[in-house]
Amino acid sequence: MSLKYKELNEVSIFVLPFLAIEPGILKGRVLNAYLGDDKVDAYKEGHIFLLHSNYQDRHFKLFEEIVESNDNFVNCYDIVDSFYGVKVYKIPDDFKDAYESFLKSKYSEYCMASRGMCFRYNLLPESRILHHVFNKSEELRNKKSEYLGVDLPVEAELWSTWDKSLNYITDDLLEFLRSSLKKSIRLSPSNKFYDET
């Protein structure tokens, strides 16, 4: 399986912030956000699917209360034998234009409010890159041109076009999650077992 699923996808970077969920709530629990689920016919357009671990620690109930209390929350369901959960949200009305720009991979067309949400509620370890992407900065264009070995035109977007295979919940993603679980689940007896006489 590919490591591609271990990185933030475009939906997590450019669309999830519209929900105004504090990044601290999501970190360590959320894997990524998606535009849809190939196995779910409802919510085909205008929704965000938030994929998270269902690991039951002492903070899980609070996490669920917070993410399900969001005004845009629509529904939830479990996947991969309930080891993971998916929360479904509608795109907030204030950000429908930015959502449409995202669908066309036109990140520079985001309005100031949409950009502000991406800066404020971002999961990236370093969000300064977004300033360069939204403004099509000459500095980033030159760096990308050098890296790619081509001259990028001034009108070119400076973030890749989003890829459906990485921004939808697919069979390949589900298989990756299943295989990850098999690697991480190892049973061992407790210390009390050894202490019994």
For residue 148, count CB atoms less than 10 angstroms from its CB and return exposed for 0-12, middle for 13-18, buried for 19 or more. exposed
Cβ neighbours of residue 90 closer than 8 Å, sequence gap 6 or more? 43, 46, 47, 48, 72, 74
Could you report the per-residue pLDDT of 132-173, keeping only the tens digit for each?
999 999 999 999 999 999 999 999 999 999 999 999 999 999
Tell me the per-residue pLDDT of 28-62, one tens digit each, with 9 for 90 and over: 999 999 999 999 999 989 999 999 999 999 999 99
pTM of the model: 0.88
User: Which pLDDT score, from 0 to 100, does residue 18 have?
Assistant: 98
Q: How many CB atoms lie within 10 A of CB 120?
A: 12
94's CB contacts (< 8 A; 6+ apart) are 18, 113
Res. 131: pLDDT tops 80: yes
Q: What are the CA-CA distances from residue 91 to residues 26, 56, 133 (Å)?
A: 18, 28, 22
What value does the mean pLDDT take over residues 173-179? Answer: 93
Nearest one of 78, 13, 91 to 40, comparing CA atoms: 78
